[in-house]
Copies of this chain bind each other. A is one copy, B any other.
Amino acid sequence: MNENNTIEEQYDYLLQCLKSEDMTNFRTAFFDLHIYEQGQFYQSLDEDERLRLYHYLSPKEMADMFDVIEEDNEDVKDYLKEMRPQYIADMLSEMYTDNAADILNQLDKASVARYLSIMDSDSAEEIKELLHYEDETAGAIMATEYVAIKANQTVHSAMNLLKKEARSAETIYYVYVIDEQERLIGVMSLRDLIVSDDDVMIADIVSERVISVKVGDDQADVAKTIRDYDFLAVPVTDYDDHLLGIITVDDIIDVIDDEAASDYSGLAGVNVEEVSDNPFKSSAKRLPWLITLLFLGMSTASLIAHYEELVSEASILAVFISLITGTAGNAGTQSLAVAVRKLAVTDDKDANFFRSIITEVLTGLVTGFVTGATIFVIVGIWKQNFTLGFVIGAAMLCAITVANLAGSLIPLLMEKLGFDPAVASGPFITTLSDLTSVLIYFNIASLFMSYFIT
């Protein structure tokens, strides 16, 4: 990145100005920074320095910066505690409504009510509306600062309106055309406006095929729309096509990041978004899965205990337990990942339920056969005992097929039942497949017991 070598020096200079109470130079240098960098600087300060900053910056200036830093930031609550309530209220009312609502959603109800009561009433109304929408829906992530125009005017007058709203709107690169009842009837890009002559009527050039999303749509579906159509923003309407807000591409990038991190976390059995350098905090986050799976693992142990006599007769059986459970677990993890991914990218989720399962089971049979045949040969030669090799190979084939079935069936069932399929974690599938693999292994082994004991 350009000028990376000087950004630390700029932060140092700003800190100096703060310490020497040189507000004029501070403000000049501060506003030379991009708001993202302003936010980075702010977050590097200690409390005393931040307290001074609140005197140097207006609520509006602070709002611009908070529009950029609020995402997922756990410190925001602490920052708010340092500010005066009226300063907070003014700042929130100057922020984009979606971001202000995000911050309020992190606070307790009493604080929310307090800030809303001392805020200017227009902003308070708009923010209140957003607070009602369910988390992870279009309504929850939309902003209400968009430019809407009527169709019966010229390009010239539309451009004039745009210039007026350019400073406050979240994007001016799309203009939404509405009718008398505020229903969304068309959309124009600024590019369309710019290349049109001044005296052309909007009604004559507006595109009336509007792609929009409904206020209750899942945020992942909104992300898909913006990604597929390469939009910079998409309008959000209610079920009667009234325009309620817009969702811009920068918010969608955050959605895509969050969804990817949550799929990844699911597969790993740990929330990778809440990473801590404190081993006790990290452990507290990982132990619930580990201990739950420990109990599931205990079922596998009890199952093996059930066959303990078999093992004491033929201790060679113990040698291959971890090979069979491990390989089946690996295959199950692959199936799980493919199934979760398929669910994430497919639109029509019902059509493929049985076909997906059948494909996975057939894939299990094929990979199981190849893996089983390989281990049959290896064990046969190594132990000079092809009956034993056959037992291990056959168990491998069955265990892999069952693991593939579990790996694909469980996320598909969870989706059907309305849960997030990504929650079916990789560790859960491997631990479950340990159980089925051991069951299969010892059952096959006991059938052939008399043949391979040498």
When distances are taken between beta carbons in the complex, the residues of chain B under 8 Å from A113 are: none
Instruction: Name the residue on B nearest A383 (C-beta).
Output: B305
Whether a CB of chain B sits under 8 angstroms from the CB of A97 is: no
**B367 lies within 8 A of A286 (CB):** yes
Interface residues of A in 170-188 (CB under 8 A from B): 172-173
A319-B290 contact given A263-B264, A275-B342, A298-B378, CB 8 Å threshold = no
Whether a CB of chain B sits under 8 angstroms from the CB of A227 is: yes
Whether a CB of chain B sits under 8 angstroms from the CB of A93 is: no
**A213 lies within 8 A of B300 (CB):** no
**A3 lies within 8 A of B371 (CB):** no
* A252, A367, A438: most-surrounded residue (chain B CB, <10 A): A367
**A336 lies within 8 A of B300 (CB):** no
**A322 lies within 8 A of B308 (CB):** no
Chain A, residues 29-54, CB within 8 Å of chain B (1/0): the string is 00011101000000000000000000
**A341 lies within 8 A of B272 (CB):** yes
Interface residues of A in 421-454 (CB under 8 A from B): 426-427, 430-431, 434, 438
When distances are taken between beta carbons in the complex, the residues of chain B under 8 Å from A321 are: 304, 318, 321-322
Chain multiplicity (copies): 2
When distances are taken between beta carbons in the complex, the residues of chain B under 8 Å from A325 are: 322, 325-326
Chain A, residues 315-358, CB within 8 Å of chain B (1/0): the string is 11111111101110111011011100110000000000001000
**A293 lies within 8 A of B338 (CB):** no
When distances are taken between beta carbons in the complex, the residues of chain B under 8 Å from A286 are: 331, 334, 363, 367
**A297 lies within 8 A of B282 (CB):** no
**B195 lies within 8 A of A293 (CB):** no
**A297 lies within 8 A of B326 (CB):** yes
**A291 lies within 8 A of B374 (CB):** yes
Interface size on A, residues (CB 8 A): 117
When distances are taken between beta carbons in the complex, the residues of chain B under 8 Å from A426 are: 267-268, 333, 426
**A322 lies within 8 A of B434 (CB):** yes
**A250 vs B371: C-alpha distance when bound (angstroms):** 42
A166 interface neighbour in B167, B195, B214, B297, Cβ under 8 Å: B195
A268-B337 contact given A250-B230, A318-B308, A319-B305, CB 8 Å threshold = yes
**B213 lies within 8 A of A194 (CB):** no
**B166 lies within 8 A of A269 (CB):** no
A294 interface neighbour in B213, B269, B279, B323, Cβ under 8 Å: B323
Closest Cβ–Cβ distance, residue A155 to chain B (whole Å)? 12
When distances are taken between beta carbons in the complex, the residues of chain B under 8 Å from A152 are: none
**A300 vs B330: C-alpha distance when bound (angstroms):** 15
A249 interface neighbour in B249, B260, B336, B359, Cβ under 8 Å: B249
Q: Please, could you name 9 A-B residue pairs with CB atoms under 8 Å apart, sorted by A?
A: A1-B214, A226-B253, A283-B367, A290-B327, A305-B316, A305-B319, A315-B318, A322-B325, A325-B325
Which 3 A/B pairs are nearest by Cβ-Cβ distance?
A: A268-B337, A260-B260, A279-B362
